[in-house]
Structure 1
């Protein structure tokens, strides 16, 4: 049985309609997006953009599931990179004291606590530029991954800086689920934020991870003085990767005292204020361009009202970071997050399982943006 529903959307041009139709009707993720196509989707009226993102989200995900992830800093501070936003950079006077790599038992105990609180992905981060010359440390981290996988059945993710093909293979052999290496921002804005590592260095690490068969976790930070064009370029880079990121973290900058970006936001970028609308546009566009990815609302979420978080879920977010801390910044706790999810009808996503909703209808978007709903038998 078929029925027709007139969409509430009022898209201004035939071109925009055509691009949205392409995004909505595709049964598989596409990586052939042009920059103009990304821009056209990004600039759709926000109410319509979020509506279409919800449609796409429900085609590829169970809309009631939110994955709980916990991030632990296993080696804090002393990083030789000069990232202007980072409290852990040795270039930035933030008062953070560098520590050594945590031992296996300490990390495992933290993972146990996370699992007891319904987190199903355990992420470990170390403040290093790269893994070159860190053979012993890499082996210790591989042992952490293996123990957490085998004894707790949790997904594991690590972020250790730049990594080569041989090093990533050791982590693959240990059973690592995903490797995080954010592109941070657009290629154009990147040099305004970091000088000790190039944008192409980041892409090379991501390629090494992807080639190994480990899931790629890559996204960025919003609110570093970037423009709307930078948001569009950032999304274009991610959506045209050979394989879309399995995991796409969206961080909201926490401007930490002592970091250069904290001052630049007051001077150089004082007219570039990140708004909730921009965050929602990035999330909604990412959902339409990369429908199979899990979009994770990461650092800075604790500064957002519950209603703002709910809008992010409606736009396509289906994972959050929860627990004691986000590396060196605050994080909303498990109890508060679980209560919020229950209040709005969400349930925690199981480990290694991203279930699709039991759809009884197939929605097709016509050229005039009307929706054709076909009941599946």
Structure 2
């Protein structure tokens, strides 16, 4: 069985990343089968509970208030709408429900209290609850944990050097500090990046290096393909080739064997055959539903058909979860 390591060198990761694609996918598939059930894929749903008007200047994001996109800023969704979406997601087969708010940092307002209520309610549905609300204080992280939050998403996006060229309103160190806050409060870490923003292979390798050399690997590693949105500085970026996604997923799988590697944004632009290569490379989670925050996503019926054709089965909530991450009122699946 592949060893869990946090001492990967950039040279080792570079050798992996640049190896012949079919050899890389074969090795990743071998590691995947050693650490995960073959063909088991977690189905997740992501809902934007507060859309647009974000003060950050992330060059890829249509929710930034600095860019002229079709995304209209709005108030936080009503509790009934959020709970209804979670129930609908569960009935459609999702076992993880993620709530995203276009905030620079979690607010010290009634909106944050509403998030805590939603975490409690959706956890009671026996779903893994994940939030992405921007930077967190230790006090806020503790409150989320107490409410039953299972996971927190806060992506590194890319290498530190490239990050500093696409975002000026928040530092790489800010992101690392938020991840440390999440980890210190025994919340499962969801952290990955985006492919196709104009970064080099070396930037991608550094991202994997930064993730795989953390003291503990992120339990969840989303690999996103950029969806170029009109009005953002990256509106003219070309579509990410499927083989770049497969290469990133395979490299993540080999270096972080126990992590859930999520085939995330951009899947809507991939054929079933292209997605199949990503599953072979070690992806074992997808997002389904009409939208991924504000961008289009794959149709549920298409995903059901793909699961049938590829022989994929949905993964249970909390399966193999670490005891300290599971809410007290929930029993983890073995």
* CA shift for structure 1 position 261: 1.3
Residue 49 of structure 1 corresponds to 24
User: What CA distance in whole angstroms lies between the structure 2 residues aligned with 1:339 and 1:115?
Assistant: 18
Residue 86 of structure 1 corresponds to 61
Q: Does 1:326 align with 2:292?
A: yes
User: What CA distance in whole angstroms lies between the structure 2 residues aligned with 1:135 and 1:51?
Assistant: 49
Q: Does 1:137 align with 2:103?
A: no
CA contact (8 A) 2:40 2:284 kept: yes
Residue 303 of structure 2 aligns to a residue whose secondary structure is helix
* CA shift for structure 1 position 354: 4.5
1:268-287 CA-partner distances (Å, limit 9, x unpaired): xxxxx743222211111100
Residue 253 of structure 1 corresponds to 226
Residue 318 of structure 2 corresponds to 352
Q: Quick one: which of 129, 132, 139 aligns to 1:159?
A: 132
Residue 181 of structure 1 corresponds to 154
Residue 86 of structure 2 aligns to a residue whose secondary structure is helix
User: What CA distance in whole angstroms lies between the structure 2 residues aligned with 1:342 and 1:183?
Assistant: 34
User: What CA distance in whole angstroms lies between the structure 2 residues aligned with 1:347 and 1:278?
Assistant: 25
1:224-267 CA-partner distances (Å, limit 9, x unpaired): 0001111100100000011101111111111000001114x37x
* CA shift for structure 1 position 130: 0.4
Q: Quick one: which of 161, 173, 177 aligns to 1:204?
A: 177
User: What CA distance in whole angstroms lies between the structure 1 residues aligned with 2:309 and 2:241?
Assistant: 26
* CA shift for structure 1 position 138: 1.5
Residue 67 of structure 1 aligns to a residue whose secondary structure is strand
User: What CA distance in whole angstroms lies between the structure 2 residues aligned with 1:25 and 1:78?
Assistant: 44
User: What TM-score, normalized to structure 2?
Assistant: 0.94
Residue 191 of structure 1 aligns to a residue whose secondary structure is helix
CA contact (8 A) 1:62 1:354 kept: no
Residue 306 of structure 2 aligns to a residue whose secondary structure is helix
Residue 63 of structure 1 aligns to a residue whose secondary structure is coil
User: What CA distance in whole angstroms lies between the structure 2 residues aligned with 1:104 and 1:303?
Assistant: 32
* CA shift for structure 1 position 25: 4.1
CA contact (8 A) 2:193 2:222 kept: yes
> For the aligned residues, what is the CA RMSD?
1.3
CA contact (8 A) 1:252 1:301 kept: yes
User: What CA distance in whole angstroms lies between the structure 2 residues aligned with 1:122 and 1:286?
Assistant: 23
CA contact (8 A) 1:125 1:158 kept: yes
User: What CA distance in whole angstroms lies between the structure 2 residues aligned with 1:220 and 1:287?
Assistant: 14
Residue 364 of structure 1 corresponds to none
* CA shift for structure 1 position 108: 0.4
* CA shift for structure 1 position 136: 2.0
Q: Does 1:40 align with 2:15?
A: yes
Gap regions ≥5 residues in structure 2: 322-334
User: What CA distance in whole angstroms lies between the structure 1 residues aligned with 2:299 and 2:90?
Assistant: 13
Residue 294 of structure 1 corresponds to 260
Residue 262 of structure 1 aligns to a residue whose secondary structure is coil
User: What TM-score, normalized to structure 1?
Assistant: 0.83
User: What CA distance in whole angstroms lies between the structure 2 residues aligned with 1:347 and 1:335?
Assistant: 15
Q: Write out the 4+ residue segments of structure 1 that deviate beyond 4 Å after TM superposition.
A: none
Residue 284 of structure 1 corresponds to 250
Gap regions ≥5 residues in structure 1: 1-23, 267-272, 356-377
Residue 58 of structure 1 corresponds to 33
- State the number of aligned residues: 321
Q: Does 1:339 align with 2:313?
A: no
CA contact (8 A) 2:188 2:219 kept: yes
1:72-110 CA-partner distances (Å, limit 9, x unpaired): 000000000001111100011103211111121110000
Residue 190 of structure 1 aligns to a residue whose secondary structure is helix
CA contact (8 A) 1:61 1:354 kept: no
